[in-house]
């Protein structure tokens, strides 16, 4: 099993920045992809950004240019740098680990418990 622990959430004013981290441990395969997803109150969970094993990234249109996903292979840790935050970015952010080189929808995966990000003045 793979365990994921997110950290870095909190309250931030509009226009501010936060950096989320997700540490993976357990039965981690040598080849895996990771991603960030979020779920706002009353809404479905949505993709924020993914990063393939090769390092290729993919972003939701709503965060492109503001958020940056990265990973540290040696530390098995995923990051999400969030800049120019907006109230509509308020959500619980979840980290996802995917077996294989890409995070397909039906990939064998694991999820973290989530970390709350609140953007408000």
pLDDT tens digits for 88-119? 999 999 999 999 899 988 888 999 999 999 99
Q: Please give the average per-residue pLDDT across 10-14, as a whole number.
A: 97
30: left (phi over 0), alpha (psi -120 to 50) or beta: alpha
- Identify the pLDDT of residue 31: 85
**What's the whole-number average pLDDT of the chain?**
94
pLDDT at 36 over 90: yes
Burial 4-41 (b: 16+ CB within 10 A, else e): bebebbeebeeeeebebbbbbeeeeeeebbbbbbbeee
- Average the pLDDT over 85-89 and give the result: 97
pLDDT of 30 higher than 80: no
pLDDT in tens, 50-67: 999 999 999 999 999 999
Residues in Cβ contact with 73 at an 8 Å cutoff, skipping those fewer than 6 apart? none
Res 120 pLDDT > 80? yes
- The alpha carbons of the chain give a radius of gyration, in whole angstroms, of 14
């Amino acid at each position: 099993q793979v365990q994921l622990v997110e950290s870095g959430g909190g309250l931030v004013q509009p226009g501010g920045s936060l950096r989320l981290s997700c540490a993976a441990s357990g039965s981690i395969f040598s080849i895996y992809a990771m991603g960030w997803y979020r779920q706002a109150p009353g809404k479905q969970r949505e993709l924020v950004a993914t990063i393939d094993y090769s390092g290729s990234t993919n972003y939701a249109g709503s965060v492109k240019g503001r958020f940056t996903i990265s990973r540290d292979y040696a530390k098995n840790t995923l990051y999400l740098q969030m800049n120019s935050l907006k109230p509509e970015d308020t959500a619980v952010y979840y980290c996802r680990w995917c077996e294989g080189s890409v995070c397909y929808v039906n990939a064998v995966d694991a999820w973290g418990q989530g970390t709350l990000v609140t953007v408000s003045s």
